[in-house]
Amino acid sequence: TLPSRVQLIDVGPRDGLQNEKPPVPAEIKIGLVHRLQAAGLTEIEVTSFVSPKWVPQMADNAVVMAGIERQVGVRYSVLTPNMVGFQAAVASRPHEIVVFGAASQAFSQKNINCSIEESMERFAPVVQAALAAGIAVRGAMSCTVGCPYEGEVSAASVAHLAGLMKQIGVQRVDVADTIGTGTPLKVQKAIEATLQHFDIDHICGHFHDTYGQALANTLAALQLGVWNFQSSVAGLGGCPYAKGATGNVATEDLVYMLHGMGITTGIDLDKLVDAGAFISDFLGRKPNSNVAQAILNK
């Protein structure tokens, strides 16, 4: 049976904007977060405390976090790849930090400059420090169905990574299709592999829409009982270390599908479309969302 309610995490301000070349001013990022929470999003991935040499767009992380007028009931998360990033993030009082690893060695090297095993050595103290400080911990698992450098990724590699994440104390994980090459049965295999170590309530679907498969992949995940998903308003984004990958599934498209299936999200679709139009206007393009286009053209 399908879940009756889905919890969405909008990753637009982070996953979405990290790939934009021209700097987006902090006040625009803050304005986007405000519009997302006004639309009913209760989890927002705001920014990442990564090296500004690697991802210049996220260099204003602390400014953005400090500028948000926090709304009760909304949880704000940030990416922290190592202790340097975690220590910088703590002052921003995130509700959740995200360590991010990969199911493929090549992607781990390109994205965070170390092997999968080394990444765990870096993440372990971050996870411990976060939990000790009362901050929740999520682990993003990249390339769970395909890798831009290695091609197909096996379910065994996904299970291995999930096991490592569990061992170091990560509380929940994202099954990510980083480059959006996945199709429903492959995504189900990746989720089933993750289920060896995490229960269904602690697995989030994170699907990029490069090949237009993200909604189908979401449905496949829903059928397994997954009820936490990440998406990006206006379909923003991509990863700078995954060339050619486009944004996450648009939050607007996901919300439309879920509501149409009678699944509640707590999100006001019209306000969400406004949030997407706000950031798309700033970027000088149309929202990368069929639903947003349809509503805006009505």
| Positions marked catalytic | 239
Select the binding partner of residue 49 from Mg ion, ligand HMG, none (C-beta < 5 to 8 A, by kind).
Answer: ligand HMG
Instruction: Name the burial class of residue 131, with classes exposed (0-12), middle (13-18) and buried (19+) by CB atoms within 10 angstroms of its CB.
Output: middle
Site for Mg ion in 13-72 (CB under 5 A): 15
What residue spans of 168-209 are helical by DSSP H? Answer: 184-194
Q: Which two tokens stand for residue 266?
A: 């707590």
Quick one: how far is CA 255 from the chain centroid? 16
If binding is defined by CB under 6 A, does position 213 make contact with ligand HMG? no
If binding is defined by CB under 6 A, does position 54 make contact with ligand HMG? yes
Let me know: does 259 contact 38? Beta carbons within 8 Å: no
Residue whose C-beta lies closest to ligand HMG: 85
If binding is defined by CB under 6 A, does position 29 make contact with ligand HMG? no
Number of residues located near Mg ion, criterion CB under 5 A: 1
Query: 102 - beta bridge partners?
Result: 142
Is the alpha carbon torsion for 192, 195, 201, 202 positive or negative?
A: negative
Select the binding partner of residue 241 from ligand HMG, Mg ion, none (C-beta < 5 to 8 A, by kind).
Answer: ligand HMG
Among 132, 121, 111, 47, CA closest to 85: 47
User: Which listed range, 50-58, 156-164, 219-227, 272-280, lies at the site for ligand HMG (CB under 6 A)?
Assistant: 50-58
Site for ligand HMG in 71-110 (CB under 6 A): 79, 81-82, 84-85, 88, 100
Contact with ligand HMG (CB under 6 A) among 55, 127, 165, 190: 55
User: Which listed range, 43-51, 151-159, 210-218, 280-288, lies at the site for ligand HMG (CB under 6 A)?
Assistant: 43-51
Query: Residue 189 or 206: which CB sits closer to Mg ion?
Result: 206
**In whole angstroms, what is the distance from residue 292 CA to residue 233 CA?**
10
Contact with ligand HMG (CB under 6 A) among 8, 18, 137, 191: 18
Among 103, 115, 211, CA closest to 150: 103
If binding is defined by CB under 5 A, does position 253 make contact with Mg ion? no
Q: Which two tokens stand for residue 199?
A: 């229960």
DSSP tag of 80: -
Query: Residue 92 or 111: which CB sits closer to ligand HMG?
Result: 111
Q: Which two tokens stand for residue 282?
A: 């700033």
Q: Which positions lie near ligand HMG, rule CB under 6 A?
A: 15, 18, 48-51, 54-55, 79, 81-82, 84-85, 88, 100, 111-113, 140, 142, 176, 178, 206, 208, 239, 241
